[in-house]
Structures are given as C-alpha cells and as structure tokens.
Amino acid sequence: MALDQSQATAPGTLGRPPVRVPEFFAPARLLAGLWRYLPLVLLALAWEAATRLGVISPAELPALDKVGSAWWGLLAGGDLGDNTFISLSRAVAGLAAAIALGVPLGVMMAWSKPVRTVFNPIVQAFYPMPKSALIPVVVLWLGFGSASKILMIFIGCMLPITLSAFNGARGTDQVLIWSARSLGASRLATLTQVVLPGALPEILAGIRTAIAFAFVLLVSTELIVARHGLGYMIGWLGDGGVYDAMFAVVLTVAALGFLADRSFLLLMKRVLRWRE
Amino acid sequence: MRQGANRIVAAPAQIVIDRVSHTYRPARGRPVLALDNVSLEVRDREFVALLGPSGCGKSTLLYLIGGFLPVEAGAIRVDDRPIAGPGPDRGIVFQHFALFPWKTVRQNILYGLEKQGMASEERQRRAREFIDLVGLTGFEDSYPAQLSGGMKQRAAIARTLAIDPHILLMDEPFGALDAQTRNLMQVELLRIWQRSRKTVIFVTHDVQEAVLLAERIAVMSARPGHIKEIVEARFDKEDPGLTRSQPFVEMVDHVWNLVRGEAILAQRSGAG
C-alpha cells in the first residue's frame, strides 16, 4: 500500500496509467526491431556499394537493385508465386507427415519398453546420417514429382521430431502421472493428458529444428531433380546465366525460412504461455 | 480392535498393513531393502504420522498404500480389499505439489472432478468451493508457475480434497515451504481435517509437525525401515497455546529422543 501511494504522488510517469497501444504499432517496439536487424541492413548496403564501386563484378554478384527488379519481374509474371506455392505445399505435407508419425512414435518409445527396444537402435543409427544422400534413391522410387520431395522432407524431419518427443515424454515427472492416476485417470488417459502435454515444450523445439531441415531438404531435392519449385527455379536460372533472377529466388527462400521460423516461435510462445 | 458386529462403537481398522517388506531395485547397483516387515493399522478418520529419518522408507510405505508401487511381500488392505493400483479413494499430496503446470489452478481442480464423471455445472461449483476453502479465490486462473510455494500446495490440497477421497496420503507436503508458511499450512490442515474428518497418513521428518498434527505417530527406524514405536499424541489441537504447553514440549522431546538415534544411524549409512 505504501508503495502505491508513493507512486501516486511522485512526479513523472510512475503514477500515470500506461497508455495501451497495439503491440505491433508501439513506436518503441518498432524502433527496437529496426535496431535489431540493423546489421542486415548494413550488409545489404555493403552488397550494393561493392557492386556499384566495381569491387565485385556483376557477373559474380549482381547489384541488389537489379536483384530487386528481377524479383519484381518474377512476381509479376506469376512464376515466383506458383513455384513458391508448390514448394511450400511440399514442405507443409512432409512436415505434417513427420509430426503425425514422429510424435506418437517418440511418445510410445518412452512409454513402452518393447517399442523402445525395437525403434531406439533404428532411430539412433539413422539420426546422424546425411539425409541428402538419399535423394537419388528416393527419386528412383518416386520419380521427379512432388512425392519424392515430400518423402525426403518427411525422412529428414521425422527423426528430430521423434527424438524430441521421446526425450520430452521420458522426462515426464513421475509424480504427475501418479497424481493423475490417483485422481481417477486411466493409464491410457495419462498418456494423452499428462505425458503428451508435459512433453510439448520439447516436441515444439524439435519441430522448430525440423522446419529448418525441411527448407534445406526441399531446396536441395528440387535443385537436383525437379520440374517445379523454388529449388528448381534457382538451378534453372543459374544454368541459364540469369544471375539477378537466381539471386532473387535465393533471397525469397531465405526470407520464407526466416518467416516460417519466426511465426513458429510466436506460436510456441502462445502455446507454452504457462511456462512463465 | 474388532468387537463383533458392533462397528460403530469400535471403529474398524480401515488400512491394514501386514508384514510388508519392499526392496528397491535401482537401475544400477545392488538392490536395497527399503522396508522390513512393517505392520500398522490405521483406523477410520484417524490422523497418523509416519516419522523417520530420510531414507527410512516412509515415503515408500505411502506409495505402497497409494498403489503406485506393487506390494511384493506382505499385504496391504484398504476397507478389507487388497490394493489394486491407484484410485480416487486414496488422494495424495506430494512434497513438490505435482500440479499440472499447463493447467491453471481451476483447471487442475476440474481435472480430477471430470475424471469422477461429475456434471459440468456441479464441477464448476465444487471447484469454486474448494478454491475458496484453501483461500485461493482471485488466483483461479493463474498457472502454477505464477504462484508461491505455499499457494501451489494449497492448490494441490484443494485438487485432492475436491474429489472427496476417504483417505488422504500426504508425502512431506510442507517440506518444501519456508518455516512461516509451513506453520500457517499446518494450522489450516488441522482446520480442514477437523471439518472433513478424513483418514490421514502424513509422512514427515519434522518431530514437532508430527506431534502437532497427528493423533498417533509411527516412529520408523533407519534403513531398512521398520516401525520402532507407535506414540499416542492426543492433544486438544484447537488450543492456540498448545505448542508451548508442558505436555506438548515433553512429548516432542520424547519423540525426538526416539528419532535421534535413527537419524544418526541414517547419516552414517549414508556416508558409508
């Protein structure tokens, strides 16, 4: 109480009620955001300066403004939109399949010893394997279309998600399961109502890693064998010597990856708001 | 204790622990005999403390009654039936609260009520009632991470009491709280117990706490745990000057003398 009074009588801003501003538009936040990404802006300026001053030949690195107009051209022509849609659909399909299978497998591995005995050696052996080595095999099986890309993304994303679900579920506090059981929950109910939500922080962290893997595998698979997609565009434009357009697609992929990661991080914070 | 058919006069033993031994098998290392031939009868509506040094198996005994660990040697019967896993007839409160961290106080309490198959309106009403009972009104929608230790334990007690178990198992419930909060919670538990009159088995290593709360104290020996002596501690628990009264102080002294030797033994075996 004493503290409240001293605040009310103090001069300045302490006693004033805070002004409610929508978070996104708060000038302080916007400024802080700009400040945070200042190094990125400086890098872009350095790029533009280096090409304009002739430090780097435009054949090796096209000027940023050329890349910008090439990007606009690709967007206006519809190529960029179509191929982005195709690539993102493949990424989403592969990731969704990896989550749908990886999470239950990881949780079951933690829950049941027979399941663990069978799958643990398989998961451990395949986890460190470079998944891109499988691209030719998968293409041989499924051909040049979307199926091979989706399978590659699925293979690459499934293991980190499985392992994170396994570790998260294995770390479940025993007394939480006991509490649920003594409150009347069945063994099966504790699996979905205690073990799964308890493992959620680790599962989401695993999915975040998997999103990054998905982009790597998407572009590398499309680069090697594809007829559509952003990776295919990069390869095709590069082979044709259209470097400004090629760079425009490369930057698009980078921006999409960044946006996907940031959005997922926001989602994570929302879902895990109980963690303080 | 049983005197023929007249069950009202002599309360039957509700929990019968009959020559129970338990071996703890760690993933690595040798198996340890945690409980050695323990027998104890707890009557209906009685408040019994299990008191002993750390590692004496008092929590293990509680987990056996709770049905969390299997009874391997001997027998435990609750209401004349052997234990088959955990159940809502035996509510438990753990030292570290064991609230579901992803649920608010209200959601934690509602969870148990849902499992009892209670109708929605009745659940909400009952949750409010027990939030009020433990003095958490205003914090219903807080997550456990936003609460102090004392408030977390109140929430955990409310969650357990709300499903109305016949037996309340408490595993050093106030051991993680600071001294002042602990005193307040002890008084509150007595108040709640006097109102609801449940059978309570209360595990602690705090002599004063055991004498203050329990009607009978089972003093346990160092590992392997067995019951060394059962002490009656029937005081007028509502007397505010109880802890300073001569009989109370003498009783604490007496029990402490029983425990001290065991605590020293426990320390030696722990160091060895």
Q: Which A residues 17-76 touch B at CB under 8 Å?
A: none
* Domains, chain A, with CATH or none: 66-275 (1.10.3720.10)
Would the pLDDT of B9 be above 60? no
* Cβ-nearest to A183 among B104, B115, B143: B115
pLDDT single digits (tens) B208-266: 999 999 999 999 988 788 898 999 988 888 788 888 889 999 999 999 988 887 777 77
Predicted confidence band of residue A10 (pLDDT cuts 50, 70, 90): very low
Answer whether A188 touches B (CB < 8 Å). Answer: no
Neighbours of A250 (CB within 10 A): 17
Inter-chain contact B98–A173, Cβ cutoff 8 Å?
A: yes
Optimal mutation site among B62, B64, B111, interface A, most CBs of chain A within 10 A: B111
Answer whether A176 touches B (CB < 8 Å). Answer: yes
Which pLDDT score, from 0 to 100, does residue A1 have? 36
The CATH number of the structural domain formed by B13-89+165-271 is 3.40.50.300
Which pLDDT score, from 0 to 100, does residue B264 have? 79
Which pLDDT score, from 0 to 100, does residue A3 have? 39
Domain coordinates in residue numbering, chain B: 13-89+165-271
Q: Which residues of A25-59 are buried (b: 16+ CB within 10 A; e: fewer)?
A: eeeeeeeeeeeeeeeeeeeeeebbeebeeeeeeee
pLDDT single digits (tens) A74-94: 999 998 999 999 999 999 999
* Cβ-nearest to B101 among A178, A180, A274: A274
Chain B residues touching residue A193 (CB < 8 angstroms): 111
Model-level pTM greater than 0.90? no
Task: Specify the range with the lowest mean pLDDT, choosing from A162-176, B8-22, B74-88.
Answer: B8-22
Answer whether A184 touches B (CB < 8 Å). Answer: yes
- Residue A104 to chain B, least CA–CA distance (Å): 20
Inter-chain contact B163–A173, Cβ cutoff 8 Å?
A: no
Which pLDDT score, from 0 to 100, does residue A11 have? 39
pLDDT single digits (tens) B162-212: 999 999 999 999 988 888 888 888 988 988 888 888 999 999 999 999 999
Inter-chain contact B116–A184, Cβ cutoff 8 Å?
A: yes
Measured CA angle at B89 (ends B83, B94), to 5 deg: 90
Inter-chain contact A184–B143, Cβ cutoff 8 Å?
A: no
DSSP assignment of A222-236, as one string?
HHHS-SSSHHHHHHH
Which pLDDT score, from 0 to 100, does residue A64 have? 87
Inter-chain contact A179–B92, Cβ cutoff 8 Å?
A: yes
Any idea what DSSP says for residue B147?
Answer: S
B67, burial (CB in 10 Å: exposed 0-12, middle 13-18, buried 19+): buried
Inter-chain contact B88–A182, Cβ cutoff 8 Å?
A: yes
**Nearest Cα residue in chain A from B161:** A183
Inter-chain contact A185–B115, Cβ cutoff 8 Å?
A: yes
Which pLDDT score, from 0 to 100, does residue B196 have? 82
Which pLDDT score, from 0 to 100, does residue A24 have? 56
Neighbours of A112 (CB within 10 A): 13
Predicted confidence band of residue A201 (pLDDT cuts 50, 70, 90): very high
* Cβ-nearest to A175 among B85, B96, B102: B96
- Residue B208 to chain A, least CA–CA distance (Å): 27
Predicted confidence band of residue B271 (pLDDT cuts 50, 70, 90): very low
Under a CB-based contact definition with an 8 Å cutoff, are residues A254 and A130 in contact?
A: no
- Tell me what percent of the residues of chain A surpass a pLDDT of 90: 63
User: What is the number of H-type helices and E-type strands within chain A?
Assistant: 13, 0
pLDDT single digits (tens) B38-60: 999 999 999 999 998 887 889 99
**Nearest Cα residue in chain A from B117:** A184
Average pLDDT of span B87-100: 94
Average pLDDT, chain A: 87
pLDDT single digits (tens) B113-167: 999 999 999 999 999 999 998 889 999 999 999 999 999 999 999 999 999 999 9
Average pLDDT of span B22-42: 89
* Cβ-nearest to A175 among B98, B103, B146: B98
Which pLDDT score, from 0 to 100, does residue A12 have? 39
Answer whether A194 touches B (CB < 8 Å). Answer: yes
Under a CB-based contact definition with an 8 Å cutoff, are residues B111 and B159 in contact?
A: yes
Chain B residues touching residue A183 (CB < 8 angstroms): 88, 91, 111-112, 115, 159-160, 163
Under a CB-based contact definition with an 8 Å cutoff, are residues B12 and B44 in contact?
A: yes
Distance between CA atoms of residues B21 and B39, nearest Å: 9
Average pLDDT of span A152-174: 94
Predicted confidence band of residue B90 (pLDDT cuts 50, 70, 90): very high
**Nearest Cα residue in chain B from A175:** B98
Which pLDDT score, from 0 to 100, does residue A15 have? 43
